[in-house]
Structure 1
Amino acid sequence: MTLSKNISFLLCLACMLVMVSCKKTNWQENYRESAKSPFGTYIINQEISAIFNQNEVINIKENIADYFDNIYYDNTANYANYICIKYYANRLDKVSINRLLEFVKAGNHAFLALNSFNEELKDSLKFDTRNLDIDLYNAIDLKSLNGTFQLYPKKDTLKNRYTFDRNIRRNYFSNFEAKNTIVLGSQIVDGHDQPNFIKIKYGNGAVYLHTQPIAFTNYYLLKKQQNYVTDVFSFLPNNTILWDSQQRIRKNSHQKDDKSVFKFFWKHESLKWSLYVAFFGLLLFLTFNARRKQRAIPTIEKLKNSTVDFTHTIANLYLKEDNHKNLVTKKITYFLERVRTKYLLNTQNLNTDFIEKLASKSGNKLSTTNYLINTIVALNKKSDCTQDELMRLNTLIENFFENS
């Protein structure tokens, strides 16, 4: 077949890519048509036309139900093969499955290679599966799973055996209707021979089901297991291929087209509540810690004006000493200094001429000014003064400057 030559070329190309690549190999079972990793389906998607004698391959970018409604549905003039190779066809809801089975009933064929089949599909075609490796999730455990596949082109006649060395699940058909079902292949895993490839007649067409999509990935096609793939597809007629990449949910569907990383959490109640608690805790954290934390800025109080306190202290000191003459002398000195500064008068001689000039410049009455100066002269001559004399001098000085 043309596939063998193309596989040889792709094998050489893959070896060159491995030698020049520095990236770590991705062993995830993604089954993506664009993925060139070991368990992608890039090669089979590129070579499917050659397997079916260069028939047209239509890559469906919408839900299969919408595609049938818009383009291909009820078209019995040109028959086709619907092909889906995935871990789980989660875009096939009940409506999509009904459309697909009506498509098959009209004389077309459908091929589904899945690890897990939809319950609606199981009920409609009356079959069931069992997976003994349901708890194996990590790459190390899956690597140890291997098995031998065999095909039966005729009833009870073994054609060939094919060895698969890793990621083979013990997933098989445990129940089906014998009158409408033909076992086309089986697998031997851990010494148990169980059916893994069946054909179920439906109307004028048939549905082909396979429990090991891993056999159609890049890894096994590059390990020269392409003969198994071509032998499996040889059971289908050479018609146009409808390749379903499972990219979209059905229009007007109530399903969520969820490609979120949280998709796995929503399927499990306990994990879903753990997310709720985590988000609630984060919300509380942001609420109480939204303001930027910093050291408190100390309050710097204004410098206190101690002049008044100092004055009170000095005044109390003089008051306690009861030295009125000392205070009288300082009051007189203070008065004369102000007169010299404010009125520019010489205070050496407190005579009649001085009194007239002071009264004139200060605006006070001559009699008032004369009385104040005479009082100052009299107190200066005294060696001791009473408190009343001090108070009277203070009053005269204050009144003098208030009227000036």
Structure 2
Amino acid sequence: MIKFTYIKYSSFLVFFVLFASCKKTNWRENFREKEKSPFGNYIISKEATNLFPKEKITFLDENIYDFLLFDNPEDSTTTRNYILIKHSAYHQTKEGTDELLDFVSQGNSAFIALNFFSERFKEALEFTTNNLDENVWSIHALKKLEGEFYLKNTDFGTEAFKFDRNIRRNYFLQYSDTKTKVLGTTVVGGEQVPNFIKVYHGKGAFYLHTNPIVFTNYYMLSNKDAYTANLLSYLPNNEVLWDTHIKSSKYSNNNRKQPSVFKFFLQHPTLTWFLVVSLVGLLLFMLFNARRKQRAIPEIAPLKNTTVEFTQTIANLYLNEKDHKNLIDKKIAYFLEKVRSKYLINTNNLNEDFINKLATKSGNELQRTKYLINTIITLNKRAECSEEELIGLHKMIENFFNK
């Protein structure tokens, strides 16, 4: 075990100013080494030289499987540390997992912090996990998740490291007692359960952590950098391979593209001729079939009945001019015309006999009919009318015909 120099707080001032100046903060968990948002890995990657001051650090720009398969030196005397801090190792294939397991078994070390480990990886190292918050994804819900972490080594103190948000209740449930050592715990339901373990594998060892969020910019700026430095201090003094996990493997069988159907046809002369003849026949069919088709007859839209729109426009014109008397006269004319056409009653004399006939044929009460006709006679004699009188007459006529 080695002791690292803790990260200097003065160097974080610049990053704090960057966060504070952002108008809209991105609280999504991304774990990217180039991302300066709260839950990116920008600070921990930049401070890697302080954490490993005497060691060469290589940030991988290719998949770990491709690197180990082609760029890994054959010198077995040189041991190295592999570091992966992500949400999940979704770019890691079955072949990549096997290659990493072989890499560690040769005497190398691997520090891996993930929310989700692959089933292949868990089977190989004989452990299982339990994530009580695996279905929690929203920013608001994750913000409520707090946690307390402890480290077994008393050199790091016995006090709890408290974290105030995005701490999933994720821990190791089962593991092999013969090759696993618990290095750290978290509190779940009032009980301390392991969230940081060392798994011996061949000549090397895996250091596994279930909460990669503690390595992000947010906690590195929240006086929690001592905890992350303590975690990484378990790694030996070796060259570091830092996996940025940005690319899929070019050579893994899981990521190889399926051969094209056309490429298969072109590999055989008989099938090639079949493909050419079929394509030519299809083109000729489309060409001659298109010439025999009648051209589409353009659709002619019927003339629109704009009477309603015209009437509305005229009515609005009168309303804007406040010519209420004119509108009342037209309302009266409309009423009398409808009475003549619907009830076949002469409207020349609006006398008592007219009122009785109109009430009988329309089904309206006599008193109601008399009130409407008297209102019409009164308004017809006036030289000016108010807006209220216009509205009242309109409602009386509408109620009369809706009977």
- TM-score if structure 2 supplies the norm length? 0.61
Asked whether the equivalents of residues 85 and 112 of structure 1 are also in contact (C-alpha less than 8 Å), the reply is yes
Deviation at 1:164, TM superposition (A): 0.5
**Per-residue deviation, residues 351-375 of structure 1 (Å, max 9, x unmatched):** xxxxxxxxxxxxxxxxxxxxxxxxx
Question: What aligned pairs does 1:148-167 form with structure 2 within 5 A after superposition?
Answer: 148-153=148-153, 159-167=158-166
Structure showing greater Rg: 1
Asked whether the equivalents of residues 146 and 189 of structure 1 are also in contact (C-alpha less than 8 Å), the reply is no
Which residue of structure 1 lines up, in the alignment, with residue 122 of structure 2?
122
Which residue of structure 2 lines up, in the alignment, with residue 15 of structure 1?
16
Q: How many residue pairs end up in the alignment?
A: 261
Which residue of structure 2 lines up, in the alignment, with residue 343 of structure 1?
none
Deviation at 1:254, TM superposition (A): 4.5
Which residue of structure 2 lines up, in the alignment, with residue 381 of structure 1?
none
Which residue of structure 1 lines up, in the alignment, with residue 282 of structure 2?
none
**Per-residue deviation, residues 185-228 of structure 1 (Å, max 9, x unmatched):** 00013423110000000111101100000011000010010100
1:296 maps to amino acid: A
CA distance in 2, matches of 1:20, 1:140: 22
Deviation at 1:4, TM superposition (A): 2.6
Counterpart secondary structure, 1:4: coil
Asked whether the equivalents of residues 57 and 240 of structure 2 are also in contact (C-alpha less than 8 Å), the reply is yes
Deviation at 1:19, TM superposition (A): 4.2
Q: Structure 1 residues 70, 19: CA separation in 2 closer, same or farther (over 3 Å shift)?
A: same
Which residue of structure 1 lines up, in the alignment, with residue 7 of structure 2?
4
* 1:296 corresponds to 2:301: yes
Asked whether the equivalents of residues 145 and 166 of structure 1 are also in contact (C-alpha less than 8 Å), the reply is yes
Question: What aligned pairs does 1:191-202 form with structure 2 within 5 A after superposition?
Answer: 191-202=190-201
Deviation at 1:165, TM superposition (A): 0.6
Counterpart secondary structure, 1:59: strand
**Per-residue deviation, residues 99-134 of structure 1 (Å, max 9, x unmatched):** 111111111100110000011100111110011112
Question: What aligned pairs does 1:342-357 form with structure 2 within 5 A after superposition?
Answer: none
Unpaired runs of 5+ residues, structure 1, are: 259-290, 299-404
Question: What aligned pairs does 1:101-140 form with structure 2 within 5 A after superposition?
Answer: 101-140=101-140
Asked whether the equivalents of residues 41 and 216 of structure 1 are also in contact (C-alpha less than 8 Å), the reply is yes
Deviation at 1:257, TM superposition (A): 9.3
Counterpart secondary structure, 2:162: strand
Question: What aligned pairs does 1:42-121 form with structure 2 within 5 A after superposition?
Answer: 42-72=42-72, 74-121=74-121
2:56 maps to amino acid: E
Q: Structure 1 residues 154, 106: CA separation in 2 closer, same or farther (over 3 Å shift)?
A: farther
CA distance in 2, matches of 1:31, 1:192: 29
CA distance in 2, matches of 1:36, 1:107: 34
Q: Structure 1 residues 19, 106: CA separation in 2 closer, same or farther (over 3 Å shift)?
A: closer
Counterpart secondary structure, 2:7: helix
CA distance in 2, matches of 1:205, 1:54: 21
Deviation at 1:79, TM superposition (A): 1.2
Counterpart secondary structure, 2:17: helix
**Per-residue deviation, residues 157-200 of structure 1 (Å, max 9, x unmatched):** 96442110100001100000001000000001342311000000
CA distance in 2, matches of 1:9, 1:158: 25
* 1:41 corresponds to 2:44: no
Q: Structure 1 residues 205, 74: CA separation in 2 closer, same or farther (over 3 Å shift)?
A: farther
2:225 maps to amino acid: Q
**Per-residue deviation, residues 10-29 of structure 1 (Å, max 9, x unmatched):** 2x11232244332x111100
Deviation at 1:76, TM superposition (A): 2.0
CA distance in 2, matches of 1:17, 1:254: 43
Deviation at 1:250, TM superposition (A): 1.9
Question: What aligned pairs does 1:316-327 form with structure 2 within 5 A after superposition?
Answer: none
Asked whether the equivalents of residues 2 and 50 of structure 1 are also in contact (C-alpha less than 8 Å), the reply is yes
Which residue of structure 2 lines up, in the alignment, with residue 268 of structure 1?
none
Asked whether the equivalents of residues 182 and 194 of structure 2 are also in contact (C-alpha less than 8 Å), the reply is yes
CA distance in 2, matches of 1:139, 1:294: 53
* 1:141 corresponds to 2:180: no
Asked whether the equivalents of residues 7 and 47 of structure 2 are also in contact (C-alpha less than 8 Å), the reply is no
Deviation at 1:238, TM superposition (A): 1.6
Deviation at 1:243, TM superposition (A): 0.6
Question: What aligned pairs does 1:301-316 form with structure 2 within 5 A after superposition?
Answer: none
Which residue of structure 2 lines up, in the alignment, with residue 388 of structure 1?
none
- TM-score if structure 1 supplies the norm length? 0.61
CA distance in 1, matches of 2:146, 2:299: 61
CA distance in 1, matches of 2:19, 2:251: 44
Q: Structure 1 residues 160, 8: CA separation in 2 closer, same or farther (over 3 Å shift)?
A: farther
TM superposition outliers: structure 1 runs of 4+ over 6 Å = none
CA distance in 1, matches of 2:207, 2:171: 14
Counterpart secondary structure, 1:112: strand
Which residue of structure 1 lines up, in the alignment, with residue 220 of structure 2?
221
Asked whether the equivalents of residues 112 and 209 of structure 2 are also in contact (C-alpha less than 8 Å), the reply is yes
Asked whether the equivalents of residues 84 and 111 of structure 1 are also in contact (C-alpha less than 8 Å), the reply is yes
Asked whether the equivalents of residues 81 and 241 of structure 1 are also in contact (C-alpha less than 8 Å), the reply is yes
2:10 maps to amino acid: S
Counterpart secondary structure, 2:161: strand
Counterpart secondary structure, 2:47: helix
1:228 maps to amino acid: Y
Asked whether the equivalents of residues 250 and 256 of structure 2 are also in contact (C-alpha less than 8 Å), the reply is no
Deviation at 1:73, TM superposition (A): 5.2
Counterpart secondary structure, 1:137: coil
